[in-house]
Amino acid sequence: MKNFVSHDLKRIQSQQKSLALHISACEIVMKRQSGILEELLELQEDAMSGTKMKEYLAFLEDSIARQFNLATILRLCCLHSIMDDGLPEKEYHFLQRRLLQAYGYRHLATLHYLQRLGLFNQRDSKMISLEPLLPDRLARVAHAASFRSERMRFRKICQRLNLLPLDESSQPNPCAKSGQHSSYVFRGVYTPLVYHFVERCLKEKEPSFGDYVRCFGNNLQIGDCSHPQWGALRKILVCFIGGVTSAEVASLDILSRQLGRKIVSNSLGVLEKAKTQTSSV
C-alpha cells in the first residue's frame, strides 16, 4: 500500500488530470464546430481525393445560405481551389456571389486578399489552340510549348508523389491510426511533401528527383547528396523559407523516430490557422 501511494497514485492522478484536459478540449471543439466536425472532416477528405464533389458543392451552397461560420466556409472553399489549382469560372463566380450576399460586401476585400495569396481564385482559362491550322511540325512545337507552360494541378502532384495514400475505395490508410505513419497528422489522407522529400534524401544513397522535376519544372535546384559522411550524420537541419506548419513539424518528428536520427526544423515562423484567419477575414 505504501509503495502504491508513493509511486502509482501520483501517476494515476497525473493521468486523470491529462484525461480530464483532453475531454474538456474535445467538448470545446465539438461545441465550436456546432456538431458537424465529422461531416467537415469527411468533406475535407473528399476534396483531397476529388470524389463526391457535387455533394461538396451542395454542402457549401447550403452552409452559405444558413450562414455557418465564415472562416470554416472559406477554408473549405480554399481547399477545393488549391487541390484543383483554381475553380472553373462559373463555379468561382457562383461561390463568390453567394458569399458576398450572405456575409456582406465588406468581405469583398477578404476574397481579394485570398485571391492574391492564391488560396481562392479562378482557374486560368486555356488559350485557343491553333494546332489544327498549322503544319505538322509547327503543330508539334506548339503542343510541346503549351505542355511546358501548363502547370500541373496540385492533386496530380500529390498522386504522382504518393502523398495521398488512398486505396481504391478512397478510404484513409489504416496504418495512419497507429501514429507511426507519415499521414497520421492528416487522418491518413495526406502525407506532407517535406516528409517525402527529406525521407528520400536520407534513405537513398543517390536520390533521384526526376519526379519532382516533372511536377515542379526544371527550376528545381538540388545540391549534391553524394558526400561520404551524408548518411552518417546524426543531426539533420531542415530549413523552411516563409514559414512552417505544425503538421509538417510533426511529420518530420515521425520520420526522426523511424530513422533514429535527430531532425531539427528551422523557419521564419509557424503558420497558424488562427493568425491566417485574423489577417484575411
- Listed residue (152, 269, 143) closest to 220, CA to CA: 152
Q: Does 269 lie in the same domain as 165?
A: yes
Q: Does 160 lie in the same domain as 264?
A: yes
pTM above 0.85, yes or no: no
Q: Does 113 lie in the same domain as 164?
A: no
Domain annotation covers residue 254: yes
Q: Does 267 lie in the same domain as 176?
A: yes
Domain annotation covers residue 29: no
Domain annotation covers residue 13: no
pLDDT, position 232: 64
How many structural domains is the chain composed of?
Answer: 2
pLDDT, position 224: 63
Find the domain containing 41 and state its range: 37-117
- Please state which of the ranges 22-31, 57-66, 104-113, 127-136 shows the lowest mean pLDDT: 127-136
What's the average model confidence in pLDDT over 191-200? 87
Find the CATH number of the domain harbouring 67: 1.25.40.850
Q: Which of 65, 91, 117 is the last residue of a domain?
A: 117
Q: Does 230 lie in the same domain as 159?
A: yes
Q: What is the pLDDT of residues 199-216, one digit of tens each?
A: 888 887 777 777 877 777
> Which parts of the chain fold into alpha helices (H)?
2-3, 9-32, 37-49, 53-65, 70-83, 89-103, 108-117, 136-149, 154-160, 193-203, 210-216, 246-259, 273-280
50: left (phi over 0), alpha (psi -120 to 50) or beta: left
Domain annotation covers residue 262: yes
Domain annotation covers residue 132: no
Domain annotation covers residue 64: yes
Q: Does 162 lie in the same domain as 107?
A: no
Domain annotation covers residue 53: yes
Phi, psi of 120 (to 5 degrees): -140, 95
Q: How many CB atoms are closer than 10 A to CB 255?
A: 22
Domain annotation covers residue 19: no
